[in-house]
Amino acid sequence: MNGFEHYVQKNHGMLFIPFIVAGDPNEEATVDLALTMQKCGASALELGIPYSDPLADGPVIQRASKRALAGGMTLLRAMRLVNTMRQKGLNIPVVIFTYANPLLQLGLETFFHEAAVNGIDGLLVPDIPYEESRPLAKRCVQENVRLISLVAPTTSDERLEKICASAQGFIYCVSSLGVTGVRKKFHPDIFPFLERVRQATSLPIAVGFGISSREQTAELKGSADGFIVGSAIVSEIEKRADQLKKAATRATALDELKETLLEKFGTPSEKPLPHI
């Protein structure tokens, strides 16, 4: 793959980037959930790798990780799952969201080989900040994998400039301090922060952490190019975990989920892009 820039670009309404945890509630459901996200108008999919010690995640994603780990999910298995998604018609870019240790243990050689074979377009490692990311960033460029960078309201102008100078794909703006999880309202400081990011980059900017409603995404219009939804989707998956696990009830659960997401986030892309 890597039609990344075709799907994730500015000026196409608000980009909707959903996050799901690989293996939650099981592998088959994850494949179907990815396709459902595409039907909901997603511009890219963040596929979370479950980890025993997810430092940046709140309780909802922690629980999802635990469920997925209980089913034996690993980084390697998740990457191979993307292949199945592709065969079933997933066209949008897939970004692997993994903590540093599973990546380190798999090894970069294997990771990039599997990324190429299975149609993986991007990588986000929440616990590798700019200072630690230089060798990985260089390798990602060589391998045509977009390394997504996080920036936070507390990121200084100086760091913001450094991070944006070598950033790829899009800039992931953390909406608030703390961990992932649903929040009702944005902190008012977010807008001057997004403006600072806008000044520092020509890449699309997307806001994540705490996004759960249409009101919030409406507020972001004009300040950001898109938004990432994690916990709000994962908790909907959690509610339907039992139905999603079984083939017999999965389709109904997926339809319900699609309705809920469209209700919450609207048809996110005003001008849906043709698939490539």
Partner 1 sequence: MIRQPQLEDKFRTDETGRYGDFGGRYVPETMMHALLELEQGFKEAMTDTAFLNDYHKILHDYSGRPTPVTYCRRLSEAVGGAQIYLKREDLNHTGAHKINNAVGQALLAKRMGKKKLIAETGAGQHGVATATIAAYFGMPCKIFMGAVDVERQALNVFRMKLLGAEVVPVHSGNGTLKDAVNEVLRYWAAHIEDTAYIDGSAVGPHPYPMIVRDFQRIIGDEAREQMLQQTGKLPDAAVACVGGGSNSIGLFTAFLDDPVQLYGAEAGGKGTDTGQHAATLTKGSVGIVHGMKTYLLQDAAGQITEPYSISAGLDYPGIGPEHAYLFKTGRAVYRAITDDEALDALVRLSKLEGILPALESAHGLALAMRIATKMKPDQSVLVCLSGRGDKDVQTVLHVLKKDNSDGSDEQ
Among 113, 165, 115, CA closest to 1:
115
Q: Specify whether 121 is catalytic.
A: no
Is 31 or 103 the residue whose CB approaches partner 1 more closely?
103
Is 184 or 271 the residue whose CB approaches partner 1 more closely?
184
Which among 46, 114, 121, 225 is annotated as catalytic?
Answer: 46
Q: What is the chain's Cα-based Rg?
A: 17
Beta bridge partners of 80: none
3-state secondary structure of 119: coil
DSSP label at 64? H
- CA 252 to the chain's CA centroid: 24
Among 49, 34, 37, 153, CA closest to 102:
49
Please name the residue that has the structure tokens 């997401």.
261
Contacts with partner 1, 118-157, as mask; x by CB under 8 A: --------xxxxxxx----------------xxxx-xxx-
Is 19 or 51 the residue whose CB approaches partner 1 more closely?
51
Report residue 186 as tokens.
């944005």
Integer CA distances (angstroms), 253 to 60, 160, 243, 259, in order: 19, 41, 6, 10
87 near partner 1, judged by CB under 8 A = no
Is 1 or 103 the residue whose CB approaches partner 1 more closely?
103
Beta bridge partners of 221: 224
Find the part of the chain contacting partner 1 (CB under 8 A) among 8-16, 19-27, 58-66, 185-193.
58-66
Of the residues 6, 80, 139, 159, which one makes contact with partner 1 according to CB under 8 A: 159
Q: How far is the CB of 267 from partner 1 (least distance, A)?
A: 31
Rounded CA separation 46/257 (Å): 17
Q: How far is the CB of 153 from partner 1 (least distance, A)?
A: 9
Q: Specify whether 46 is catalytic.
A: yes
Is 137 or 152 the residue whose CB approaches partner 1 more closely?
152
Instruction: Count CA atoms closer than 13 A to 44's CA, side-chain side.
Output: 36
241 near partner 1, judged by CB under 8 A = no
Q: How far is the CB of 154 from partner 1 (least distance, A)?
A: 4
Residues binding partner 1 (CB under 8 A): 51-56, 58-59, 62, 66, 69, 74-76, 99-106, 126-132, 149-152, 154-156, 159, 174, 176-179
The residues annotated with a catalytic role in the active site are 46, 57
